[in-house]
Structure 1
Amino acid sequence: MPRTALARLALLLTMASAWAAPPATAQEMHLSTRAAAFDDRDPVDFGRDVPHRLPVHGIDVSRFQGDIDWHAAARAGVNFAFIKATEGGDLIDPAFGPNWRAAARAGVLRGAYHFYYFCTDARTQARWFIRNVPRGAGALPPVLDMEWNPHSPTCQKRPAPAVVRREMNVFLNRLERHYGQRPIVYTTPQFYRENALGRVRAEFWLRSVAKPLAEVYPGQHWHFWQYSGTGIVRGIGGDVDLNAFGGTRAQWAKWVAQRRQ
């Protein structure tokens, strides 16, 4: 066989083996973690608890970020992304499908999140999320976004804390049964405090863009910190939320290996 043909055959075999390769091990994912090269339009001094000291960073996005160049974002250090999928019992973010597929093609680990609507029961909202978010290999755990929405034109309802926690557990339990992993809970300082969310069994993704998490959520264990709403990331036009994983690269690799669907 001519040398050029042998070279082509070797290349094809290499490509085929790459496509057929098993999922990355924790060590492989550890090695592939990219350092963040983000900027911030309105940076905050967090004192000693500087989020930039944490090695694994990512973003969360919705249709408001417009078209995203996910390959550019990945090169800038976006290691994970939480992508808005659904809201209430009948709304889907129109950018969810394109973002979900493009993030995966760029090698960004991604999970889908649901924005809770207090005028629709939890079972209906869980069914809506399950209907629209695929249960496929490689996804991070789903996320339940719990916060008051005082600007909602259709629902100003604020249930009692016990009702909030009960409805949350209905949603979390249904998704856990379907996806095989407990959803993460995202929340804000006010909502966490007013509804005693420390009583909820879940991993937490906490927002605090002005003070360290230990000061805002004393005693609460967390996995993700949303530390800015004014981030600047290559590939994204305008502001974007910035997030950090609360551990080392090795801990991130272990967490991902245990929780990817």
Structure 2
Amino acid sequence: MRSGPIAAAREGRHTPEKKKQELTCAERPNCRCKGRQVHAKKEKARADVCGAAQSPPQGKAGTRRKEKARNEEKRMKKKKKQGKKRKWLIPLAVVLLAAVVFSVLVGTKVIRINTLLAAGYPVHGIDVSHYQGEIDWAAMKQQGMDFAYIKATEGSAHEDECFDKNWEQAKAAGMICGAYHFFSFESEGAKQAEHFIKKVGDLKGSLIPVVDVEYYGKYVKTPPDVEKVRKEVRDMIDALEGEYGEKPMIYCTYNVYRKYIEGVFDEVPLWIRNVYYPPEDIGRKWTLWQYTDRAQLDGYQGEEKSIDCNVFQGEKGQLNNYVIQ
């Protein structure tokens, strides 16, 4: 370090220049600082680094601007979030609408999905009564029908007027035939079995008999007593088995199955009706599935324009397991 007059003189020369680099707020024109801060110039940026220059204006105006900025940021985030929701809400709404429309069309039988699904089964058949009138059984055979269940009796006294002719002509056409009985809630099961046996007679070479249990008339709204129905159905099943040496089959709808048949007649072959979708949810093996009551086939002329169609769960050779020997 130098000392002496020369050094002092040099020091005196440089001191004012240094002070020019560090000015107080009072010495700076247009400075907004309230204190007497010292301002330094950055060598690199040559920019004012005063706290007043860096910080946003204080006071009510500054607070309002901050609040406005925060609100705008929130609004933009909310808008962006809503936009993302709309992106998946629209496709979801379209899918739900399509599902509702499809369900309505299936429920009203405009779309007959069962017909497409049933086509995958190898063995098909029909069930008929006097409602189909005169039937051309050869034409039924030509349209791929392998078997037919024909109504024989109802209750303890009624006979189907077309049974004899249908039975004879269907067998002559080479159809595998079976006879069914429409169960009455107003007659004893044993008497109904006796009536059926008397009408149908020998069934060797034919399919096992069927007991058709479904609601009708006033019983649609007021189903009969569960235990009473089960007893009478059991009496009829036992009587038919005693006569023909084979357990008969029970035909029923889902409602009747759940209320009277499920868990009680599990050893009896089941013919289930479901005209909306395959009966895979029934909870047990089924033998026949009535998949539609709206089929339109050639070869019959009666008051009923539609005909019931069914499939067998198995190959054609396995259908012989249900033929009385």
Normalised TM-score (structure 2): 0.61
Aligned to 1:163, which of 204, 228, 233? 228
Aligned to 1:121, which of 181, 185, 188? 188
Q: Deviations over 1:70-96 (max 9, x none)?
A: 011111111000100000001000000
Q: Deviations over 1:151-171 (max 9, x none)?
A: 68xx98743222222211110
Would the alpha carbon gap of residues 202 and 257 (structure 1) be closer, same or farther in structure 2, given more than 3 Å must change? closer
Residue 86 of structure 2 is matched in structure 1 by none
> Is it true that 1:203 corresponds to 2:269 in the alignment?
yes
> Is it true that 1:148 corresponds to 2:212 in the alignment?
no
Would the alpha carbon gap of residues 140 and 196 (structure 1) be closer, same or farther in structure 2, given more than 3 Å must change? closer
Which aligned pairs between 1:1-261 and structure 2 lie closer than 5 A? Answer: 43-46=111-114, 50-150=117-217, 158-200=223-265, 201-215=267-281, 217=282, 219-237=283-301, 238-247=305-314, 249=315, 252-257=316-321, 259-261=323-325
Distance, in Å, in 1 between the alignment partners of 2:222 and 2:244 is 29
Distance, in Å, in 1 between the alignment partners of 2:253 and 2:150 is 18
8 A contact 1:69–1:235 mirrored in 2: yes
8 A contact 2:213–2:252 mirrored in 1: yes
8 A contact 2:114–2:292 mirrored in 1: no
8 A contact 1:118–1:157 mirrored in 2: no
Distance, in Å, in 2 between the alignment partners of 1:234 and 1:76 is 8
Distance, in Å, in 2 between the alignment partners of 1:92 and 1:242 is 22
Letter in 2 for 1:131: K
Would the alpha carbon gap of residues 258 and 149 (structure 1) be closer, same or farther in structure 2, given more than 3 Å must change? closer
Distance, in Å, in 1 between the alignment partners of 2:183 and 2:142 is 32
Letter in 2 for 1:178: E
Cα distance, 1:180 vs structure 2:
1.6
Q: Where do 5+ consecutive residues of structure 2 fail to align?
A: 1-108
Larger radius of gyration: 2
Would the alpha carbon gap of residues 258 and 80 (structure 1) be closer, same or farther in structure 2, given more than 3 Å must change? closer
8 A contact 2:230–2:260 mirrored in 1: yes
Which stretches of structure 1, 4 residues or more, deviate above 6 A after TM superposition?
none
Would the alpha carbon gap of residues 128 and 157 (structure 1) be closer, same or farther in structure 2, given more than 3 Å must change? farther
Q: CA RMSD in A?
A: 2.2
8 A contact 1:42–1:230 mirrored in 2: no
Letter in 2 for 1:177: G
Letter in 2 for 1:240: I
8 A contact 1:149–1:156 mirrored in 2: no
Greater per-residue helix proportion? 2
Say which SS state the counterpart of residue 177 (structure 2) adopts.
strand
Q: Which has the higher contact order (CA 8 A, sep 6+)?
A: 1
Would the alpha carbon gap of residues 70 and 137 (structure 1) be closer, same or farther in structure 2, given more than 3 Å must change? same
Distance, in Å, in 2 between the alignment partners of 1:255 and 1:120 is 32
8 A contact 2:188–2:232 mirrored in 1: yes
Residue 13 of structure 1 is matched in structure 2 by none
Q: Where do 5+ consecutive residues of structure 1 fail to align?
A: 1-40
